[in-house]
Structure 1
Amino acid sequence: MGILRRSSTSGVPKGHCVVYVGESQKKRHVVPVSYLNQPSFQNLLAQAEEEFSSDHPISGLTIHGKEDVFIDLTSHLRRL
């Protein structure tokens, strides 16, 4: 399944975190915590925070926006 995982189970592997991504319907993704240190990932989080800082319907790390942008970014990070 690779480093980027989409999971419906509640278990999260050690060294990973859950990120909810999407515009209207949020999908749950499990990514390595090392992504949080990557400037491109931090930029995506900052953009989401600026646009939607008052809108947090889901507890946890939420990125509002197109899921395909998130997938492209994490695919790039996986290749590093």
Structure 2
Amino acid sequence: MAIRQLLRRSLSSERRSGGEVPKGHCAVYVGENDEKRRFVIPVSYLNHPSFQQLLARAEEEFGFHQPMGGLTIPCSQDLFIDIASCLSTK
């Protein structure tokens, strides 16, 4: 299954399940301005250098105050999906 389909499925199943996050995963909010979507990703992604760059960007913009009440990543959803796609094939 392609990562785009997996991420879309995780978003739709999250809406149905009331926001539960499976063990070994975490929820992140991705988008710019008021256009944010919630994605559920494996926690292993957090250690990858590409993802570390996204986390550094989030720290620069928000510090420890995350506006959505969870980890918010200020980048386009397309960029995030591209990075997640690369990570899922490794």
* Interval of TM-score (by shorter of Structure 1 and Structure 2): 0.7 to 0.9
Unaligned runs of 5+ in 1: none
CA RMSD of aligned residues (A): 1.9
Structure 2: 5+ residue runs without aligned partners?
none
Structure whose residues are more often strand by fraction: 1
Structure (1 or 2) with the greater helix fraction: 2
* TM-score normalized by the length of structure 2: 0.76
Which runs of at least 4 in structure 1 moved beyond 3 Å after TM superposition? 1-4
Matched ranges for 1:1-80 at <5 A: 4=7, 5-6=10-11, 7-8=14-15, 9-23=18-32, 24-50=34-60, 52-53=61-62, 56-80=66-90
Identity value in percent: 54
> How many residues align structurally?
79
TM-score (norm 1): 0.84
